[in-house]
Amino acid sequence: VCRRNSDCYRVRFVAEQVSHHPPVSGFYCECKEKRMCVNTHVWTKSKFLGMSVGVSMVGEGVLYLLEHDEEYVFTLPCAYARSILTVPWVELGGKVTVNCAKSGYSATVTFHTKPFYGGKVHRVTAEVKHNQTGNIVCKAQGEWNGVLEFTYSNGESKVIDTSKQPIIKKKIQPLEKQGQFESRRLWQHVTASLKAGNMDAATEHKHRLEERQRREGKQRAATKTPWKPKYFIKEGEGWVYHNPLWKAH
């Protein structure tokens, strides 16, 4: 939330790990004033690539624009941790697709990984297509964390500098008011130890948490009590927030 003016709105975000095997997470974000929300489920596959680690994001999200009664289904890019033995840095790579059945438009967004020699980092290109005619109605290029230029089929263009967008800090409850399974409270001692550079203490706190979770898992198995997420419901192959904006309105 930021100052009250015509260009600022309240956005609410909820995330929960809904499955352990595989480790699936559910994400939900909504803005009631703009009547839009996003529901996503994702799990990751990691592999070592020499001096890098690649992470594939398996799953998809749906952006709901209730004002237009439109749903945009999108996939997610891969993430790469580079130079893990020296000075690590992260980039995105791969193709993302966006489709809207009602409007008849689709988009392909390509996150380009940095070449071994030269080249820019965080480069992205995209095309928006009208499916029925096959016409390209918009092209975009630039850096996803910098300047993006959009060129439309009618000759118009638009430039957005994402680095100049205001950063609005999230508002969260104090640790003592958070639920016992909320991440910041549950992992607070691990986080504090890592910030202090005490890896031994961080490992010990992490081990205690994992052992407790194993005991709880065995107890549920013994009593045949299934694990039930708090905020998300299984629907088909995906997970959906239990009280989404499109059902409440």
Q: In degrees, to the nearest 5, what angle opens at C-alpha 96 toward C-alphas 91 and 101?
A: 155
* Distance of alpha carbon 181 from the chain centroid: 20
Domain coverage including residue 189 = 182-212
Nearest by Cα to 35 from 4, 2, 59, 69: 69
Nearest to 98 by CA among 133, 59, 80, 71: 71
Contact 123, 143 (CB under 8 A): yes
Lookup: tokens for 111: 């996150």
Q: In this predicted structure, what is the pLDDT of residue 22? A: 85
Give the model's pLDDT for residue 116: 81
CA dist 23 and 228 (Å) reads 14
What is the CB-side half-sphere exposure of residue 160 using CA atoms within 13 A? 11
Please indicate, yes or no, whether residues 109 and 191 belong to a single structural domain of this protein. Answer: no
pLDDT of residue 119: 84
Closest CA to 128 of 149, 158, 148, 105: 105
Residue 243 lies in a domain: yes
**Is the distance from CB of 104 to CB of 129 less than 8 angstroms?**
no
DSSP single-letter state for residue 163: G
In a domain, 4, yes or no: no
Query: Residue 219 domain-assigned?
Result: no
Q: Considering the domain boundaries, does residue 7 fall inside one?
A: no
Which one, of 79, 162, 92, lies nearest residue 122 by Cα?
92
- Asked whether the beta carbons of 18 and 233 are under 8 A apart, the reply is no
**Per the domain annotation, does 220 fall within a domain?**
no
Residue-level pLDDT, tens digit, the chain, 249 residues:
555 455 678 899 999 999 888 889 999 999 999 999 999 999 999 999 888 999 999 999 999 999 999 999 999 999 999 988 888 999 999 999 999 999 999 999 999 999 888 888 999 999 999 999 999 999 999 999 999 999 999 999 999 999 998 888 888 999 999 998 899 999 999 999 999 999 999 999 999 999 998 999 899 999 999 888 999 999 998 999 999 998 876
From CA 51, how far away is CA 83, in angstroms rounded? 5
Flag whether 224 is in a domain: no
For residue 33, give the CATH number of its domain.
2.40.160.120
Whether 176 is in a domain gets the answer no
Number of domains in the chain: 2
